């Protein structure tokens, strides 16, 4: 008894395999682009978090030195972990004579763009 193999189909045709590979390729490229964007976003958020910590530290140092900081501007470089930051702290008078405005700007030394800006105010205690 002979079996007629010509009428039976087993497996996938070349066209079906190529279509499946094309679909897989499109999905893989889309997934890789999403992963790449996530990694990039994580690096940006990590840098902003580090800059925030540096700004908070600089503000705390200003407030620890004096409850009523003198008006002026100071720029210095600070290291946090493996990164170096340029920190500019500016203390300005306000229209309210008992208040001072403190601005802390943090950037990477080689960058023109600020990574983080922190604004704060301090008040002089009333004399009794």
Q: Any idea which residue has 């840098």 for tokens?
A: 47
Report the length, in residues, of the chain. Answer: 128
Q: The tokens of 13 are what? A: 């045709």
For residue 8, the model assigns a pLDDT of 65
For residue 82, the model assigns a pLDDT of 86
For residue 5, the model assigns a pLDDT of 55
For residue 20, the model assigns a pLDDT of 94
In sequence order, what are the beta bridge partners of 92?
101
* Residue 63 phi, psi (nearest 5): -70, -30
- Assign 61 to helix, strand or coil: helix
For residue 10, the model assigns a pLDDT of 77
For residue 112, the model assigns a pLDDT of 87
For residue 7, the model assigns a pLDDT of 59
For residue 9, the model assigns a pLDDT of 65
- Assign 39 to helix, strand or coil: helix
Q: What is the mean pLDDT of each run of 10 residues along the chain (128 residues)?
A: 59 91 95 93 92 95 90 93 93 94 95 93 82
Q: How far apart are CA 57 and CA 42, in angstroms?
A: 23
């Amino acid at each position: 008894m002979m079996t007629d193999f010509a009428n039976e189909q087993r497996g996938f045709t070349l066209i079906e395999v190529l279509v499946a590979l094309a679909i897989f390729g499109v999905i893989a490229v889309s997934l890789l682009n999403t992963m790449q964007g996530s990694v990039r976003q994580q690096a940006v958020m990590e840098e902003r978090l580090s800059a925030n910590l540096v700004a908070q530290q600089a503000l705390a140092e200003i407030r620890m030195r004096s409850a009523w900081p003198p008006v002026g501007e100071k720029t210095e470089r600070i290291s946090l972990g493996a990164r170096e930051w340029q920190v500019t702290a500016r203390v300005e008078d306000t229209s309210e004579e008992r208040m001072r405005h403190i601005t802390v700007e943090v950037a990477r030394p080689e960058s023109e763009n600020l990574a983080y800006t922190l604004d704060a105010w301090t008040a002089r205690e009333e004399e009794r």
